[in-house]
């Protein structure tokens, strides 16, 4: 079972590495939105293929470990949840790609004034990602619950930001920008939901208690 332990450690390390790449994509997508940087948008879109390949590799290693060692109990829970966490990380990357793709389509509309709520959500998500990683590495379900609570603030900020955008009339170009910002709010909110999913999976790994996912 020493080999299984090594496999499990490797899978956990790969998930942490993948999470770091996904975090960088989120940071770069928001930066691209603020600067309307075409090259940065295109780079983020290309990075998605790399994330997809990592997801496939991790899933293959998990399935191989389950088939080869036929684990039980906590180890089996960890491996099954690793597949789900892996998929949620890939979906987080997809939402960063959405932000970059939508920005690319709207660049000709000109400079965009970024709502303070987008910056606040991004800062919250950064903290949530850091706590999620610590929770996963340390098997800390209390920290996972903190992240789940923080997601409520993300939802409140999204609603506040979208409401303000809808209330502001504007020209055709301004409407185009408004649509981009609304879509950005929705993508950021989805990333928060996916982090919540991951933390619910961590709680299951640590405590053996299944929590229903908010975002499926």
The pLDDT score that the predictor gives to residue 73 is 84
Mean pLDDT of 184-209: 94
pLDDT of 216 strictly over 80: no
The pLDDT score that the predictor gives to residue 77 is 87
Contacts of residue 125, defined as CB under 8 A and 6 or more positions apart, other chains included, come to 26, 154, 188, 191, 192, 195
The pLDDT score that the predictor gives to residue 2 is 79
* pTM for the whole structure: 0.92
Residue 212 pLDDT level (bands cut at 50, 70, 90) = low
Structure tokens belonging to residue 188: 């950021």
Tens of pLDDT along 54-111?
999 999 999 999 999 999 888 888 899 899 999 999 999 999 999 999 999 998 888 8
The pLDDT score that the predictor gives to residue 173 is 63
What mean pLDDT, rounded, does the chain reach? 91
The pLDDT score that the predictor gives to residue 214 is 55
Structure tokens belonging to residue 205: 């790994």
CB atoms within 10 A of CB 21: 15
Mean pLDDT of 176-185: 94
The pLDDT score that the predictor gives to residue 34 is 93
Structure tokens belonging to residue 155: 């939802």
Mean pLDDT of 32-48: 95
pLDDT of 148 strictly over 90: yes
Contacts of residue 160, defined as CB under 8 A and 6 or more positions apart, other chains included, come to 117
The pLDDT score that the predictor gives to residue 213 is 56
């Amino acid at each position: 079972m020493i080999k299984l332990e090594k496999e499990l450690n490797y899978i956990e390390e790969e998930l942490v590495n993948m999470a770091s790449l996904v975090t960088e994509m989120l940071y770069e997508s928001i930066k691209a939105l603020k600067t309307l940087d075409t090259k940065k948008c295109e780079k983020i879109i290309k990075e998605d293929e790399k994330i997809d390949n990592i997801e496939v590799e991790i899933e293959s290693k998990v399935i191989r470990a389950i088939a080869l060692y036929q684990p039980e109990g906590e180890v089996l829970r960890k491996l099954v949840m690793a597949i789900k966490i892996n998929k949620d990380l890939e979906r987080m990357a997809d939402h960063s790609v959405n932000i970059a793709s939508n920005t690319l389509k709207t660049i000709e509309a000109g400079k965009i004034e970024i709502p303070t709520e987008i910056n606040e959500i991004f800062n919250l998500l950064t903290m949530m990602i850091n706590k999620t990683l610590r929770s996963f590495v340390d098997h800390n379900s209390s920290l996972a619950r903190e992240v789940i609570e923080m997601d409520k603030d993300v939802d409140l900020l999204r609603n506040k930001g979208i409401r303000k955008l809808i209330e502001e009339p504007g020209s055709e170009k301004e409407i185009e920008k408004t649509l981009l910002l609304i879509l950005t709010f929705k993508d950021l909110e989805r990333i928060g939901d996916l982090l919540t999913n991951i933390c619910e999976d961590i709680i299951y790994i640590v405590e053996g208690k299944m929590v229903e996912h908010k975002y499926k």
